[in-house]
Structure formats: structure tokens, C-alpha cells
Structure 1
Amino acid sequence: MGGQRRGKAIERKKFTTAIDMAQELPHLFKPISDSPALIGEEQDSLAQCEAAVETLKGAFWAAGKALQIIRDARLYRGTHKTFDAYCDDRWSMNRQYADKLIRAWPIAEALYKKQTDPGLNPIGVKKLNQAQVWELVPAAETWDVDAATFVYDTVVEIDGQPVTAAVLKGAVKALPKGPEFDREAAAEKILEYVSSLSETPAEKVPAPAVPIEEQIAVRVNKAIEVDWVRRLAAQDRSRASAYLDQVQQRVERLRAELLSSAS
């Protein structure tokens, strides 16, 4: 009986891959109904197709996490002597790129969890791609993953600001240095940096065309976007209050700075 057990083939679990999903997609290349609303079969097809497209958004995250498991658990040892050789032979991937994916995946996972949990992300789901996540890696490696996601969340919450890889890179560079991550100081520096993106250099500012009093009134109205604060308060009053506290602290610091310089 022992010989039969040893000779029995081991059944391994089969996982669905992107190739499997592509092969299983329905061959539906024209509407099957004239109704404005999708019928049941069309709804199923849409869900299947959207699931396939969704794999593209998270492919780098899944690959990075999988590669770290293979590397750290030495799952490559059955066929290759080194992880480098495994990456090159199995995936035509150099070690440098594999390490890049490994460094990025924890941030992607943390952001995805926050984006899909309304309680953690009252602002709403935003697009997320590999280029964005990669620019957050320095923050994660200097402090931790929470610091990296804080940078992303802070930029996302700035009304009207596109969350591009370039903007995130600049936001990370603007962070105050130090062994501890100070969220209040970080938020202030990020807001200063993002605000500077829309400012016109002083030498290019044209001569005032309206009285200075009117200019001041316009800038006061722009200083705090009331509608945005109201929307934020409707979603999370504590975060709206924290935002206004930061604005007030910044005004007080600026007032003290101006008064001290005048004296």
C-alpha cells in the first residue's frame, strides 16, 4: 500500500492566468440586443471583460508579490541555482527589474485596500498605475509604506490636481527630511509644492489691471475652496476639521513671520 501511495501522482491546484482569461472571453463582437439596457447575457459578458481588463491594472502588483515569494522562499531552486538565473530564463527579466517590482508591490497593495474600502477612502477611487507607485517607493524606503500612501492620499485630496507620476515624484522630494515621518509637516510641504505648480513666476506676472483691494478679495476666496471643504465635511467631518486646522496654523505662522521681519 505504501508503494501505491508513493507512486500516486500529486494533484496540484491550477490557477487562472491572464492567458486563460483571454481564451475564455466570449466571442461577442456586436450587440445581441437592441435594448438600451444590457440583457443578462450582455451583463455577464461585460463583467467577464472588465475582470480581464482589471488584471492589467494590478499585474505589476501581483508579479512583484509573486517574485518576492519565489525569491525569499527559494522556490526557484528546483530548476535554477540562483534567483537571477530563474528570472532571466523563465521570464526574460533581469534582476534589476524584478527587484523594482518587489519594492513596489507593498505600496500598491496598501493603496488598493484603501481605495476599495469606503471607510478608509471617503474621497473615492482613483486610477492607480505602476509609474505612480514607483515614485512613492523612496518614501516607503525612507520611512514606511504608510508614509508613501499618505503622500498619495494627500495629493488625491487636492481638488482639481491630476495625480500623475511626475506630481507624486515632486511631492516625495518636497517632504521634510528626518528619521520620523511628521504627517502635519509633510502635508504642509506637499500642499506648498502642488500650489507652486500653478503659480506664475514673479518676473512674468503682468502689471495689476485691477485695484489691489479687488486682487486681495479674489485671492482670499481662492485660498480656501469652500465647496471642496463642504464636500469633504459631508464625507468626513474630522478630516475637514483637520484640514482647516492646518490652514489656520499656516496663516498664523505666516503672520508671525511677516511681523517679525517687519520689526
Structure 2
Amino acid sequence: MGLFDVDEEAQQGQGAGGLFSGGLAAAASTASVVVKPLPGTALSLIPAPYQPHGEDELSDQEKQDLEACKAGVDNLRNAFWIAGKSFETMSTAKLHREENPNFAEWVWINWEVSESQLYRLIDEWRVGEALANLGHKPLESQVRKLVEVRRQTSDKIAITVYDTIARCVPRVTGQIVEKVVDRLGFLPKDANAADVGRRVRELLETPEETSDDTGKDDDVPDISSLGKDSPNGESSPATSNSKADLLATKDIERLEAALAALQEAAKKVNKAAVRRAVEGQPDVAVPLIQEIGSTLQQIDRAVAIRLPKPE
């Protein structure tokens, strides 16, 4: 797992220095120093999600599990998959119940992780773990888009998409992953990993066709031009004024439609309705809430731009 591996080969045959003397000298040649990873720095040290052992005070084992999970979340910026597994274990086992019965509130107070981000990390950690085991060091922003593929198909297909991209481009970016996933389109539940891998390679090798009248439909750079215009391949040819005007009009329509949809949704959703849904059918409500949060986060990122100052 990259940053958190313990170098077992380096440990073999290490000298004992001044720790051994007298009768212990003979044993020194066969002894090795065992270095354990720090709490929370290895996925294997995070207990798997399990059902609560009770509703009262935490048992000694639950307290140990809680501390391990807290340490895992503290490594959020180094390995998001460790934090994601930690969050799921603490939530599923209700290890937070002594400190705060409201899990999302407790997480925000301790780590300032929003509820939508919290459940996104829970949704992503298995893919992140698998990619780390393959030798990759994925960023959370890169894996975020793969959740769409995972929900359509399986963890294996999502992993295949990232792994194929990593083998075909000099550097994986969130924009490349997003571009490939969007161009893959809908995938059947029983999609074949080998077929998906071939399709990803084709997409990376073939430029996306564009219309002479309207230009590209989005502002994500063409992945076929990586490295041609800038060190990270993110530059693109400037559009003419006529094309820019056409695109601006189309984009205004998109914004207006999005605003209308959000306003309509806001009329139908409130905390009381959400609580009733979770209490009544948690297995249905929780995934819906997670998806709503993820979608809102995506919209929030899209509109988080520097706005011009009013004249």
C-alpha cells in the first residue's frame, strides 16, 4: 500500500547494536526488529464494519476499534481509503454512540468532514484500496467519478477503468478519468472487464468527434492531445467569438434548467421527510441520500468559480 508498507526485507538481518550483550549475544544474529505500522496507517489495522455489540457503553474491544478507526480517519489526506473504511466501521458498529448519537454531526465536529463527503468516502474506499494494492496511488478526486461505474457494474470494472488509464497515460488526472467515464456511457451490470479495458484504450487513442458548428460540449480537454500544448496537457485551442456565443447561450439554458430542478427538489425534501424515510426503510433511504449528497457536491464543485465583481 505504498506509503504505509513496512519494509520486511530491510528488517531482515539488521544488527542489534547495543541492545544485546553477554548471554544474549548468540541470539542477536538470528533476532530481527519487528516494526509495527502506526495506528491508522495500514488498512489491515482497521476493523471491518460490523453490527453493534449493544446500545449501552462500549466494550473494551469496541473502544480499541474506535481508537483504530479514529487514527485511520486522521490519515484522510494520505490515504482516503483508510479513512473511508474507518468511517464505515464506526457508523455500522455505532462506535460513536458514547460521544454523540448523531454520526454525521460527530464526524463534522471531529474532522470537519461534511455528511455528503463522509458517505462518498464510504462509497469509494474499496476501489481505492484495490487500486493501492495494485501499486497505484489514486487521489480521492480521481476515484470519485469511478463510483458511477461501480454502481452500474462492480468494483472490478471500476478498478479496470482506472488501471487501464494508468497504463496508457503518463499521469492520471481527475479530468481524464471523468472524460473516459462520460464517454464510456452506460455499462451493463454483467460488463466484461477485458471488453471494458479495450474500450478504454480505444477512447484514449481516439479523439472525440466534434461538430463544426458547436465545438465541444464541455470544457474538459481532449485526452488525445495530452502533452502537446502544456506540461499537463490541459490547454486547448481558443474558440472563436461566434462559437463562444453559441456555447454561452447553451450553457445559460443548462444553468436555468439546473436551477429550476433544484428549486423543485427543495420543495419536496426536508429534514422531517428524510428522518422518516431513514427510520422506515433505511436500506432504501440511505443510498438515495448518499447519491443526493454526491450529486449536490458535484454541482457545488461545478459552480465554485471566481465570479466577476459587479460594476
TM-score by length of 1: 0.48
Q: Which has the higher helix share?
A: 1
